[in-house]
Amino acid sequence: MIATAPFKRLALIGFGLIGGSIARGARAQGLASEIVATARSAETRARVAELGIVDQVFESNAEAVKDADLVILCIPVGASAEVAKEIAPHLAPGAIVSDVGSVKAAVLHAMAEHLPAGVHLIPAHPVAGTENSGPDSGFAELFINRWCILTPPEGADPKAVEKLAAFWSALGANVEVMAAEHHDLVLAVTSHLPHLIAYTIVGTAEELEGVTRSEVLKFSAGGFRDFTRIAASDPTMWRDVFLNNKDAVLEMLGEFQEDLSKLTRAIRRGDGDALYEHFARTRTIRRGIVDIGQDAAAADFGRPKAELAKKAAE
């Protein structure tokens, strides 16, 4: 495997859910002869070394990127520019520099400023995740049948784009290429707005008078639970997303607010027909998502069937 690995040295800056999943997947698929990683905290570095997935763990980002032909920043987007500046003098000519951030336009511009000529900046965003974070949270299968969006700047080397696309395909992802600005608009609705709404409603539930926290937890299976999952995502990552994709998020929020006002009015006026018509329409969207394999129709809701059968037999 080593002799034919597409990359000589893969340097992962950061080893959270995404960095850790790339490391595990790239190792399993033989995508790099050598995989190195960095982590900011000594505790995480110790854990990464202990896990034994990568060949070397560095404290210094500069040291990690030396001789690397693929460098992937797996850190909150707010830290990208600073890290780009830090590693720039140490990058090998011809290296591909990428990231995994949920916002692309701001990051692209912030990083591009610092990188030397002869290095290929190809930002990427694997649309996959769980609410867990930290070095133990990753798994090799995270990207299977998920999309990875590449947003190469104008004039990017097609060969470098192709090489990075092949890397993500090998991890199991479907790859799509689009402009950074379009990415940010699409993700504002499919990811950023849902997270903001989920963060809001979970906060609302916690502060109510007349309903205790214990009641909110106990009866969460009525729908609330589905929101808490995404409202448990990494706070630093999400702070940076909203700070760096402000305009698109505010635009989507405006649309959402208008629609919520319409439904609120229908409730206040007791307009059952308007409610029914809306609810029947949204149902078809769900069917579409299940049809293209982005979710399962199985009704396990966090309680795998095997576990239920066991409980039923008790």
Contact set for a second copy, span 133-192 (CB under 8 A): 137, 139-141, 144-147, 149, 172, 176, 182, 185-187, 189-192
Is 1 among the residues that bind a second copy (CB under 8 A)?
no
Binding footprint of a second copy, residue count (CB under 8 A): 119
Within residues 228-247, the interface with a second copy by CB under 8 A covers 228-233, 235-236, 238-240, 242-243, 246
Handedness of CA 227, 246, 207, 129 (dihedral sign): positive
Report the alpha-carbon distance of residue 185 to residue 187 in Å, rounded. Answer: 6
Is 196 among the residues that bind a second copy (CB under 8 A)?
yes
| Pick 89 or 272: Cβ nearer a second copy | 272
Number of residues that make up the chain: 314
Chosen residue from 128, 156, 160, 165 binding a second copy by CB under 8 A: 128
Both tokens of 117, joined, read 């000529």
- 164 CA to centre of own chain: 17
Both tokens of 37, joined, read 């990683």
Is 60 among the residues that bind a second copy (CB under 8 A)?
no
Q: Is 72 in contact with 31 (CB distance < 8 Å)?
A: no
Nearest to 206 by CA among 197, 196, 217: 217
Within residues 73-112, the interface with a second copy by CB under 8 A covers 78, 102
Is 113 among the residues that bind a second copy (CB under 8 A)?
no
The secondary structure of the chain in percent helix, strand, coil, rounded to multiples of 5, reads 55, 10, 35
Within residues 249-308, the interface with a second copy by CB under 8 A covers 249-250, 252-253, 255-256, 259-260, 263-264, 266-268, 270, 272, 275-276, 278-283, 285-289, 292, 294-305, 308
